[in-house]
């Protein structure tokens, strides 16, 4: 198990030293709320990125992938906007992403090709570049060490709450802080649909070691949550390490392990905040998959359960219809031995009730089962009986409100 970290109150991307941020209203959101944000590091950052696997990746994703391939050790800023995704916008969209990055660099007085861009919102609409440029100039004029919270608000779309956190830990060489912000409420699924997350740290690092670390962390956090099974064109998770702490965690195996745990804790907290704030969500379902031949297989089974609308509506209704859970597992595309499958459920109190074993009903007490499924947080534990690998996946219930929210998003 990872180490325990205490979350820093109001922690965010600007809690690690050397990062400032600000937000501005550029006229994209009709309610006057901030819709553009800028994050700046005082020095160059070693940067890692994990992006959508959707074939139709948006222009900002294409721009960032290209920039990170070229200058992964030279990143200074991240420019963000909500309301327009700049996806399915063709060559003009790519030019707009480049122009948005240049606007951020100019506004913050940074060298060329040092700013990444993140966009989220409606697909197929051209980026309103002039407005965004104005917003970035305004943001650059108000960069502050507590601006991360404002940035977290600016990237909200259907989110009802800003998502931000930070943790801190001591090492023999000094203190390291890791922070993050994220957005995402609907269209969240393995491979991070319409999910933007920016993680920052004042640790020193190298892109070559941060990249695999971020991939592992993302698989166990952002890629382990599902709201509606859709994967967007814009998903991006960034990790920027500016070295302002003077501590390089990679010099000590134990410190490196704690550093990865800290990044994992920030990512996990943001991912859980996204699930809890899933569009229309009223409940959270934690799916523990054990006894798999590999962590990847365990995660696939968890994802199959997490994306089943029948499971998610049963969770909403407090209906212990656990057969749907096993049926969803059977659709995961993972080899299973039915006679070795067992399924348990619990609420927060760790009183596990066995629902099925040997792939068949365990005839659980109906009222106990119903009590568990009526809780706000429901945990399922499915043991495949095939190996020792495990994974945990989180999802929320599917509610009538989800449908209402998504029925008229563009209008």
Chain positions 342 to 401 lying near its own copies, rule: CB under 8 A, are 355-356, 358-361, 398-400
| Site residues (CB under 8 A) for its own copies, limited to 146-175 | none
DSSP 314-378: HHHHT---THHHHHHHTTSSS---GGG-EEEEE-TT---EEEEETTEE----HHHHHHHHTSSEE
Q: Does 187 bind its own copies (CB under 8 A)?
A: yes
Residue number, 97 or 356, with CB nearest to its own copies: 356
Residue number, 167 or 195, with CB nearest to its own copies: 195
DSSP 5-24: -PPPTT--TTSSTTEEEEEE
Q: Which one is catalytic: 20, 89, 114, 194? A: 194
Q: Does 317 bind its own copies (CB under 8 A)?
A: yes
- Strands 75-81 and 115-119, bridge-based pairing: parallel
Residue with tokens 């399915």: 88
Distance CA 389, CA 329 (A): 16
Distance CA 353, CA 322 (A): 12
What is the closest distance, in whole angstroms, from the C-beta atom of residue 197 to its own copies in the complex? Answer: 19
What is the closest distance, in whole angstroms, from the C-beta atom of residue 98 to its own copies in the complex? Answer: 16
Q: What angle do CA 64, 70, 76 make, to 5 degrees?
A: 65
Q: Does 408 bind its own copies (CB under 8 A)?
A: yes
Residue number, 294 or 406, with CB nearest to its own copies: 406
Which H helix or E strand runs over 167? Answer: strand 163-171
| Site residues (CB under 8 A) for its own copies, limited to 38-57 | 54-57
| Site residues (CB under 8 A) for its own copies, limited to 202-241 | 228-233
Q: Which of 78, 85, 110, 155 binds its own copies (CB under 8 A)?
A: 85
| Site residues (CB under 8 A) for its own copies, limited to 235-294 | none
CA 170 to chain CA centroid, nearest Å: 26
> Is 275 within 8 Å of 395 (Cβ atoms)?
yes
Distance CA 50, CA 394 (A): 19
Q: Does 410 bind its own copies (CB under 8 A)?
A: yes
Residue number, 2 or 318, with CB nearest to its own copies: 318
Residue number, 80 or 85, with CB nearest to its own copies: 85
Q: Does 329 bind its own copies (CB under 8 A)?
A: yes
> Is 46 within 8 Å of 207 (Cβ atoms)?
yes
Catalytic: 194?
Answer: yes
Q: Which of 324, 342, 385, 395 binds its own copies (CB under 8 A)?
A: 324
Size of the site for its own copies (CB under 8 A): 71
Contacting residues for 244 by C-beta, under 8 A, at least 6 apart: 16, 17, 18, 19, 42, 43, 202
Q: Does 316 bind its own copies (CB under 8 A)?
A: yes
Stretch that binds its own copies, among 12-20, 39-47, 197-205, 315-323 (CB under 8 A): 315-323
Residue number, 143 or 353, with CB nearest to its own copies: 353
Active site residues: 194
């Amino acid at each position: 198990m990872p180490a325990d970290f205490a979350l820093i109150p109001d922690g965010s991307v600007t809690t690690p030293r050397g990062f400032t941020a600000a937000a501005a209203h550029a006229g994209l959101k009709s309610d006057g709320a901030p819709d553009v944000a800028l994050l700046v590091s005082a020095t160059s950052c070693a940067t890692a990125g994990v992006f959508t696997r959707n074939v139709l990746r948006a222009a900002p994703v294409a721009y960032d992938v290209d920039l990170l391939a070229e200058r992964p050790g030279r990143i200074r800023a991240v420019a963000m906007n909500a309301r327009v995704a700049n996806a399915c916008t063709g060559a003009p969209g790519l030019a707009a992403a480049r122009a948005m990055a240049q606007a951020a660099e100019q506004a913050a007085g940074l060298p060329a090709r040092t700013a990444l861009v993140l966009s989220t919102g409606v697909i197929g609409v051209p980026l309103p570049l002039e407005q965004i440029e104005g917003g970035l100039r305004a943001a650059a004029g108000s960069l502050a060490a507590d601006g991360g919270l404002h940035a977290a608000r600016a990237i909200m779309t259907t989110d009802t709450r800003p998502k931000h956190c930070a943790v801190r830990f001591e090492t023999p060489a000094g203190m390291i802080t890791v922070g993050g912000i994220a957005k995402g409420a609907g269209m969240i699924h393995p491979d991070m649909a319409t999910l933007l997350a920016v993680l920052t740290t004042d640790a020193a690092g190298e892109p070559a070691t941060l990249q695999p670390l971020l991939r592992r962390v993302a698989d166990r956090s952002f890629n382990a949550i599902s709201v509606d099974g859709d994967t967007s064109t814009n998903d991006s998770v960034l990790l920027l390490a500016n070295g302002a702490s003077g501590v390089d965690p990679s010099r000590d195996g134990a410190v490196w392990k704690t550093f990865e745990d800290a990044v994992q804790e920030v990512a996990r907290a943001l991912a859980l905040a996204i699930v809890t704030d899933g569009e229309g969500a009223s409940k959270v379902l934690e799916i523990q998959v054990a006894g798999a031949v590999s962590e990847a297989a365990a995660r696939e089974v968890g994802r199959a359960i997490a994306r089943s609308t029948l499971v998610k509506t049963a969770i909403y209704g407090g209906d212990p219809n656990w057969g749907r859970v096993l049926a969803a597992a059977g659709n995961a595309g993972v080899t299973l031995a039915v006679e070795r499958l067992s399924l348990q459920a619990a609420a927060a109190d760790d009183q596990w009730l066995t629902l099925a074993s040997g792939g068949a009903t365990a005839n659980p007490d109906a009222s106990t089962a119903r009590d568990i499924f009526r809780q706000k947080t429901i945990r399922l534990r499915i043991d495949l009986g095939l190996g020792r690998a495990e994974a945990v996946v989180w999802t929320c219930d599917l509610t009538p409100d989800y449908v209402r929210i998504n029925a008229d998003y563009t209008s």
